[in-house]
Amino acid sequence: MRDSDDVRLDESFSRRYPQIPEGYVKFLQKVASCVNPAETVWFLCVDDYNGTSTSEWAWNEMEKIDLEGAQGDEQATAEIVEFWNHHLPFMYSVGGDYAYLALRVTGDSYGSVVDGYDIDLTTASAVAPTFEEFVRLHSAALKGDFGDTVLGDYV
């Protein structure tokens, strides 16, 4: 748990993501760290976004992996950066294939949750219409009720 409801994010991070869905801000206000016992699935929290966590994984690690794969291709690089400008990663899974969950932070689907995998990180699939609905689905998945979600990768 966090000691304060005040979420102070790094200035460069806040410039890139000026609008973060309220449900996720509330989560960041309350949770300092949230990781599974195997340390293969975790939520990104304030220290991750500020670059002050002890994690070997940067908050934008999936973007970095994608950019490395673009190998200097200017068009691919621009497309990757554009994708990540519109998607804020909030959970990583590295127990098998790399996977992430992200919030759409622009456009008509603002606030919805998507997931993507290391085969093509910028191809994302809808998971939930809001962060709050994602939390409900994830809580059920943690209890073994995966329904028709992909959340089995994130427990």
Place of tokens 């195997």: 38
Q: What is the pLDDT along the chain (155 residues), one digit of tens a residue?
A: 555 566 789 999 999 999 999 999 999 999 999 998 999 999 999 999 999 999 999 999 999 999 999 998 999 999 999 999 999 999 999 988 899 999 999 999 999 999 998 878 888 999 999 999 998 888 877 777 656 555 556 65
pLDDT at 139: 81
Q: Are 154 and 96 in contact (CB under 8 A)?
A: no
Round to whole Å and give the CA distance between 88 and 91: 10
What is the identity of the amino acid at 37? Answer: P
